[in-house]
Chain A
């Protein structure tokens, strides 16, 4: 078993930037002795996207056309199962994304692969792969090994590796894999619905006052709305408050909401789960107030305070208002 296969991900005809990060991770595994790097492109647009992943250090492109124009989990599953069966790579790298989570665990269980998701680090030593991931709500890091697994499927968190430079064009061999995938789809797309355009666009605000689970009481959202208005900020929120119906979805920051990069992001009572941080880590100044000193938000914030958010909010209304 040798070699690293990167599974490229595209959406709406464009390569996801995370794919370049995976290529970078694959190159370092290859340099550590894991074997040559191949990039697999599964889908109707495989050929059009090939140039974008034909980068320095990529030996082969595996092109797998699909019978449906858009991503369909069972087609992707059948295609990846065929790739693993034919190529028997030592490592398969893919993004820890909604798309990957829709089919890769099924490939891993069916083919009895080694498997880890949301991986933060991966390396190759003494002819085997090791990986690191968060544990216990990201409080700890778990080091993983995959004994007795000739092929290991690793889903890598976005941003864990720097992206491969897109400028350096390679000269990879292009291989078309002709698979019979006509019977593979098991779901039919009825429609693709974009999120409704709301009355507020939080991506355009310079100053976001963002509130999270620490609010604890629907009645108190109004106080925070008033505070935001008073200090010239736009109110945004993390997912739990949107799920609970306390704040409208157009104000949600995170992977499944909006990605924002304001001048100031003031986070009150937000713990800083992965899916939230993905949507706000590019803010120029991040200040976090949380009652839990262990909250992961303090790892991404530039300034932080361990305090009751409402006590700080009351003072802020007076001082910034």
Chain B
């Protein structure tokens, strides 16, 4: 069973920031780590590989140097092989542009199952996986909380609002987007982190995948014109002082509200 796991390194904006009118924040202003959802989709893939005797887990990421960090983290956790579609301009790409690039990789790799994170923690579009399934014309289920194999087919739990679960059966090939909490992602050992660099790692450009220039630009679903600070509402009335003073004010507020 061949599994393809698209992953992303996400940037977290820490502290204060001066906006300069551009549509993208400089990479150096962000704190980078593997997208939380992708740790779960990778773990799900590794677990399925271990069930099927002859499995392979291929991780793919699109972007600049940050994408390489994401892939090395996945190799350290146990992925077999990595494909880095190198293009720094695609680091902040929208879901449809990413899906178009990933489609080219998927058509080359021909996986039985693609496992994506249900969303990324920074952009939170929740769309790249299902957009990719559309381009590949494969069956898909979004926001999955359990995956099992049964007679060569998938049985998955899909999460609905309010905690209701829909259990579905579907055939392979397929694409699932994975929700957090589906498993307990493993940590990489120090030894595995060192060995990650010796695993097969391919760097390829969108052009080499047959996607560049206007075709790549046309694949995008939107363009960010500018970034701005959100118009904040009144916000919370802030309680200052040491913990004892904060607790005293909270106790007072809670007392009033419960009596009301």
Q: Which residues of A come within 8 Å of B, CB atoms?
A: 11, 73-74, 77, 96-99, 101-110, 112-118, 130-131, 134-149, 186-195, 206-207, 231, 239-240, 242-245, 249, 252, 255-259, 263-264, 266, 274, 284-289, 294, 298-299, 301-308, 311-312, 314-316, 318-320
Contacts and interface: CB of A to CB of B under 8 A. Distances in A.
B224 A144 contact: yes
Interface string B175-212: 00001110010000000000000000000000000000
Interface string B218-254: 1101111111111111011111100110111111011
Contacts of B23: 142
A117 B126 CA distance: 8
Contacts of B30: 136
Nearest to A308: B243
Contacts of A243: 180-181
Contacts, number: 285
A137 B222 CA distance: 18
A40 to B, nearest CB: 18
A137 B122 contact: yes
A131 B169 CA distance: 37
A299 B232 CA distance: 7
B168 A190 contact: yes
Interface string B125-166: 111111111110101111100000000000101111111111
B18 interface: no
Contacts of A139: 13, 17, 230
Contact of A266 (B133, B163, B254): B254
B52 interface: no
Nearest to B259: A263
Contact of A316 (B100, B128, B131, B247): B247
Interface string B70-102: 000000000000000000000000111001100
Given A142-B23, A303-B253, A304-B238, A109 B96 contact: yes
A301 B236 contact: yes
27 contacts: A73-B140, A74-B140, A77-B134, A104-B130, A105-B99, A105-B129, A105-B130, A106-B130, A110-B135, A115-B95, A117-B127, A118-B124, A141-B229, A142-B226, A143-B225, A143-B226, A146-B222, A149-B221, A187-B139, A187-B168, A188-B169, A191-B166, A194-B163, A252-B163, A258-B162, A264-B254, A299-B233
B236 A302 contact: yes
Nearest to B244: A315
Given A139-B17, A140-B13, 12 more contacts: A73-B141, A98-B142, A102-B140, A102-B158, A106-B135, A140-B25, A207-B258, A285-B253, A299-B232, A301-B236, A303-B239, A319-B251
Q: Place the interface of chain B in its size category.
A: 35 or more
B170 A274 contact: no
Contact of B221 (A106, A108, A231, A255): A108
B257 A263 contact: yes
A287 B12 CA distance: 25
A122 to B, nearest CB: 12
B121 interface: yes
B47 interface: no
Contacts of B1: none
Interface string B99-120: 1100000000000000000100
A312 B251 CA distance: 11
Shortest 5 CB-CB contacts between residues of A and residues of B:
A106-B134, A243-B181, A304-B236, A315-B247, A115-B221
A72 B109 CA distance: 28
B13 A109 contact: no
A136 B131 contact: no
